[in-house]
Amino acid sequence: MNIGVLALQGDVREHLAALAESGALARPVRRPEELDEVDALVIPGGESTTMSKLADTFGLLEPIRKRIAEGMPGYGSCAGMIMLASTVLDGRPDQETFAGIDMTVRRNAFGRQVDSFEADVHIDDVPGGDFHAVFIRAPWVEEVGGDVRVLGRVSDGPAAGRIVAVRQGNLLATAFHPELTGDLRVHRYFVEMVRQAADAR
């Protein structure tokens, strides 16, 4: 399986390493022809408005939207979650997304960089106990459509109950950064999603 990591901005190397350790052939994607060579795409953390502009500049915005609409598996962490959302709150008026998951996401919902934090999150379908999640200027999901499964919520503190992990079909998104933890369970879960999607074709 070839899994690409959108390599326009953000923590690309960490995702490439985690995917490789999870049994996938991982490669950076910067151009439409590189997108054509992968079976799935990871959209990393970073800055969603910058990522949106660069995706447009590099001619990737519409090709990624098309591949996602055709069923290509995708996983977005933090800014990647925002890029997969159908609706973004507190974004720039001209901000574009890949619009794959029927959800409304609020940018920087937990606060600014100084408000970054770590918390244990239970994630449905990911065995092995709670996942120690790293939140950096993270979004959260305000609401989801009927086809979206909520996989994880913040369990306690001021943001208790906020949605931070979702899945819709072949698309997965988390508000946190599993690529920064050394815990490969979310990446392995996504690799298995990609494998199942390939088997179903």
List the alpha helices (DSSP H) in 22-133. Answer: 32-35, 48-57, 61-69, 79-84
* Unique residue bearing structure tokens 């086809």: 147
**SS3 state at 141:** strand
Contact 12, 48 (CB under 8 A): no
Give the active site residues.
78, 177, 179
Helices and strands (H and E) in the chain: how many = 6, 12
Residue type (1 letter), 174: T
